[in-house]
Amino acid sequence: MPYDPAKDPWRGNAVSPTSLGRAGALVTPSDATDLARYARIRVFVPPGGESAEVSILPLDAADGEPLTLPVPVGQVSILEFLVRRVLATGTTPGLIIHTVN
């Protein structure tokens, strides 16, 4: 079934970093490849671990200036940054990461 604008009460809202996501995709961390579309990211840390971190390049960061952030175990976090790359180095393996556009 195609998109139906009559069912979308947010269709006229401007897209912004704080608006609802309208699309998403699974992210595979990479030290060399930017996201296909810059986005906010949603990170889930499956229960069972002790601590987790995600390493990102925010939009205005240089390639050699990653930002590594702690993320809580067993919870979903939507980062407060627009992200151009999620790095494999510095990101805890096993995280479930999606873009939020």
Tally the domains of the chain: 1
pTM (2 d.p.): 0.86
Shortest CA distance to 56 belongs to which of 10, 11, 9, 95? Answer: 95
Residue 75 DSSP one-character state = S
What is the extent of the structural domain holding 16? 5-100
Please list the pLDDT of the chain residue by residue as tens digits (101 residues). Answer: 777 888 777 777 776 667 778 889 999 999 999 999 999 999 999 998 788 999 999 999 999 999 999 999 998 999 989 999 999 999 999 999 999 98
